[in-house]
Each structure stands twice: as C-alpha cells, then as structure tokens.
Structure 1
Amino acid sequence: MDKKLLSGKKALIVGVANENSIAYGCAQMLKTAGAEVGITYLNEKSKPFVDALAQKLEPTIYERCDVTIDNDLDNLFDKIKQKWQSVDIIIHSIAFSPKEDLHGSIVDCSKAGFLLAMDISCHSFLRMAKLAKPLMPKGGALFAMSYYGAVKVVEHYNLMGPVKAALESCVRYMAVDLGPQKIRVIALSPGPVKTRAASGLEDFDKLMQRAEQESPMHTLVDIYDVGAMVAYLSSDYAKNITGDTIYIDAGFHLLG
C-alpha cells in the first residue's frame, strides 16, 4: 500500500464495533494509505471495545453515532465541520434487523422490524450523504456495505435481502444525483466475513464454508481485502468510478 496514496484526505468510518469489523479493516487501510481518520462507536456499552482500537488508529474524530437517536448524526457532522471543515471519504458500515424478523419467514416480518432494518441499514446512508454534501466542496467518495443476498436469494438472509437491495438502488440514484458535485457513491459487496453482525445469521459457518469451496479462487476475503479496495476507490485512480456495486468475494457471485 502506497502510504501517500490518500495523503491529505480525511475519512470518516461509521460502524467500528470490534477488531473483526469490516469498518475497522477499512479504517486501518485508509490510515495506512495516508488518510486522516475519524471513527464512531455505537453506545457506551460498545465503547470499551472500540477504545482499544482507537488507541491504534489515533483518530482525529472519535464520537458516538447511533443513527436511531435524534441528532446523533447532526452532532457528528458538526464535529467534522469544527475539526476538519471538510471531509473526503465516508464509510457507512452499519446494518441491523431485529432477530425475530431476521430469523423468520420474510412474509412474517413485522412492519416495525422492517422499518427499523431499513432505517438503520439504508436510510441512514442517505442522511449521511445529505450531511456530507456541503462538506465535500471539491468532491468526495461515499461507500456503503452490501452483500450478494441483495441480488440473489441466500438462505437465512431473509429480511436483509430486500434491505440491501434497496441500499444498492439508493447508491445508483445517489451517484446520479451527486455526480455533478464530483461526489462518487459506491456499494461494496464482500463475500461472507465473520463479523459480529454476520453472527446473527443462522448457519453462517455453513455459508462461509460454501463460499470457500465454491468460489473460483477457493478463498475467503477478510476485512483488509475490503479496506484495500476502499483505499483504492477513494484515490484519484478511481476518479471516474461511481454508482457500481463492487464485489470482493473471490468470484463467488459469478456462480449464482
């Protein structure tokens, strides 16, 4: 990794929960590439786990961000404006579904569960983009994390399939909407990565085993593979890439 690739860039990463988080891999690789980073934690319960990572990352901005709490996002972006004045890179790496709605049949999911999953996993990305737009006067890059279950039916993915499909559609519309301001919007679709969020899926270990056995390269991706892709896509080398869903899954999506 070129340590000057993102020199002078400022990157906010939302969704760091522990050392296995995709968000943490992104933060590590962006910092390695020379970016100044800011990270968030969800709440006081999760903060001790993120504190240890913050010591390694030395973020300029380290704030709480629970998108279900009124004004949390506004407060976060106020801090960005105060400390950085502008931002170049935003990583949205958060998703949630109530367990009872995730594990049941899709037609049995509750209205409240559906709306909550959509709000946290999808609509919050739109809200971040709206707040980031005035802080990206020279353009920037917005990233969201998706999954193959957005386009194909994956057993046990259930409610999150439609939610991620909506997220990918938002990415396309946002790319067109924000393109004139030179703000690029990209969805990343990693293969199965063993994160805390993924552990909520039934038979996740079997899904990982299948991905490793059936992908063309017979390998699993890790959080640093995703982070390396984010670093590249955040650089000027990718200045004309926007609106796409980029797969990082050793080719597994080709076989669906």
Structure 2
Amino acid sequence: MPEFAECRDPRELLDLSGRKGLVVGIANEHSLAWPAAMHFRQAGAELAVTYVDARAKPYVAPLAEQLEAPIFLPCDVTAANELEAVFAAITERWGRLDFVLHAIGSVPPADLHGRLTDCSEDGFSEAMRVSVHSLIRMARLAEPLMPDGGSLMTLSYLGGERVVENYNVMGPVKAALEASVRYLAHELGPANIRVNAISAGPVPTRAASGLTGFGRLLDATARAAPLRRNIQADEVGRAALLLASDYTSGITGEVLHVDAGVHIEGPVPASATSNPPEEPK
C-alpha cells in the first residue's frame, strides 16, 4: 500500500493522513457508511472495515478493496467475540485508533411495522442490543486505543426526538442511542474522546427502499424541509469526515442534523407515509 499522503484526494480539504479508523455498517454502496468511508480514505485515513455475515461479504469486499482496507473482518455484534476480534486485530496491526463510525441497527420486521404497544420483548431487546448497546461496547473497546483522544460517531434519525408516524419501536431505540451519546461524551470527555451522532434525513438505503410508503415519506420530507429537498448520502459522509477531523475538536455530545432542516419544521404529515426509513445498515 502506498504512503497515505500519496493516497489523498486533493479535492478533500480536510487531512486525516496517518489516522486510523474503524467503519462498522457498510452493507453495500448505498449504505450511509459508504460515502463516509470514502471521504475518510480520500482524506488519507487508513481504515478497518467490517461486514455483518457471509451473505453480505460479496457486496462489501469490493468496497473494502477500493478503500485499500488492511483489516476486513466479519462483525455481527450479536455473535460471540466477533466485535472483540475486530478490536484485537486493530490492536495487533496498529496499536491505536483515532475514530470509529458506528452505523448499524436491526429490528425484526414485525416489530418495526407494528405498534410500539405490541412490540415483542425479543424484538425490543434485539433492537436495543444491535442499535444501542453495540455503540457502548465499541466505546469501551476503543477507549484504551485512544490515549491521545479520538472521535466516536453514530447514525440516528429524527424519530428519536419526536413521533414520526410508524417509526414505532425504533423511536425509543434512537432516543436511547442519542442519550447514550450524551452519557458517553460525559464519561469519555476527560480522555479527549468525543462522541457525537449524525441525525440523517431519509435516504434510499437498502433497508429503507423496500419499505411500503417510503417514497411518500421522501416526498413529504422534501416538501417540509427548509431546503425543499431531501439530502444525499454524500452529505452524511462529509459530515462524518468533519466529525472525524480536528475541525470539530470542541464538539461532543452533539446530535448533528443532516436533514435539509426538516427537524425545525412541524411533523411530516402522518397521511404522507405508512412507513418511515429504517435505520441505516
């Protein structure tokens, strides 16, 4: 692999040369984690990349190769020791870590599409375990690898702040994720480790595009947003690059809205959609 100064894209204004990062959550080229990873790499960072299972590997492997990722490992956070194995590989190869992007979530479809009132205990537990507690685990594993500080980032959605019709169980789950960001920021701040969330507007990811009514949600969001449009995945990627850089060294515990401003407006009309965007995969 060439020196990272040589790998930098001159169009990237921010410089992450020499930085080491972990990206968890790339499922394919439509994942929100993918443009973030591209911007990290183009800025000069060296990346560890994971895939959730054998079915996902063929879709993620070409992307990891494009990123020239020297660490490419499975990471199903519900499987015993897989997350720990990723951090062990990072420790062995690099001995340190500068930033982590956590971009995963899961909930059984029946619980996502049904009312929160009817959510199963198992479905609620799975959603919290994958979407929230995995960030806490990553923070614990990353802390000793960040002796000089670092940046932890996760992805959220507006449904964690206020009711979005049919977001159902994922509303409380994203609220818990954002609360965890604040508490982790409080606890890790003395170590100069920043923890922030990006609250992304709806984007046609693999998880979201198959949901009934998603197109109507996109239309309604574009009408309600001050910018009168939906966001592009690359806008989330650029925000992640900013949070990974020293330009946000004084920002922690924040939920950064990258949603064309829709969070400042009234709710998206319930009649506009029968299903919200699922969490980024």
What TM bracket, shorter-length normalisation?
over 0.9
Instruction: Give per-residue Cα distances to partners, 1:167-211, cap 9 Å, x unaligned.
Output: 000000000000000000001001001112223544111111111
1:1-256 aligned at under 5 Å gives the runs 1-2=11-12, 5-199=15-209, 201-256=211-266
Tell me if structure 2 keeps the 8 A contact 1:85–1:135: yes
Other-structure match for 2:7: none
Tell me if structure 2 keeps the 8 A contact 1:186–1:242: yes
- What letter matches 1:175 in structure 2? A
Secondary structure of 1:39 counterpart:
strand
Tell me if structure 1 keeps the 8 A contact 2:22–2:47: yes
Change in Cα spacing, 1:121 to 1:215, as seen in structure 2 (3 Å) is: same
- TM superposition shift of 1:125: 0.4
Distance 1:125 1:248 in 2: 20
Instruction: Give per-residue Cα distances to partners, 1:3-28, cap 9 Å, x unaligned.
Output: 65111111110000000000111101
Change in Cα spacing, 1:12 to 1:80, as seen in structure 2 (3 Å) is: same
Distance 1:153 1:66 in 2: 29
Tell me if structure 1 keeps the 8 A contact 2:14–2:245: no
Instruction: Give per-residue Cα distances to partners, 1:22-49, cap 9 Å, x unaligned.
Output: 0111101111111111110010011001
Q: How many residues of Structure 1 are paired with residues of Structure 2 in the alignment?
A: 256
Which TM-score applies when normalising by structure 1? 0.97
- TM superposition shift of 1:2: 3.1
Tell me if structure 1 keeps the 8 A contact 2:156–2:198: yes
- What letter matches 1:209 in structure 2? D
Secondary structure of 1:142 counterpart:
strand
- What letter matches 1:33 in structure 2? A
Secondary structure of 1:43 counterpart:
coil
CA RMSD across the alignment: 1.1
- TM superposition shift of 1:220: 1.5
Instruction: Give per-residue Cα distances to partners, 1:119-176, cap 9 Å, x unaligned.
Output: 0000000000000000000000000100000011111211100000000000000000
- What letter matches 1:81 in structure 2? T
Structure 1 gap segments, 5+ residues each: none
Tell me if structure 1 keeps the 8 A contact 2:185–2:193: yes
Tell me if structure 2 keeps the 8 A contact 1:106–1:158: yes
Distance 2:211 2:171 in 1: 12
Secondary structure of 1:197 counterpart:
helix
Tell me if structure 1 keeps the 8 A contact 2:19–2:46: yes
- Which one is further off, 220-229 or 121-130? 220-229
- Which one is further off, 156-165 or 204-213? 204-213
Structure 2 gap segments, 5+ residues each: 1-10, 267-281
Which TM-score applies when normalising by structure 2? 0.89
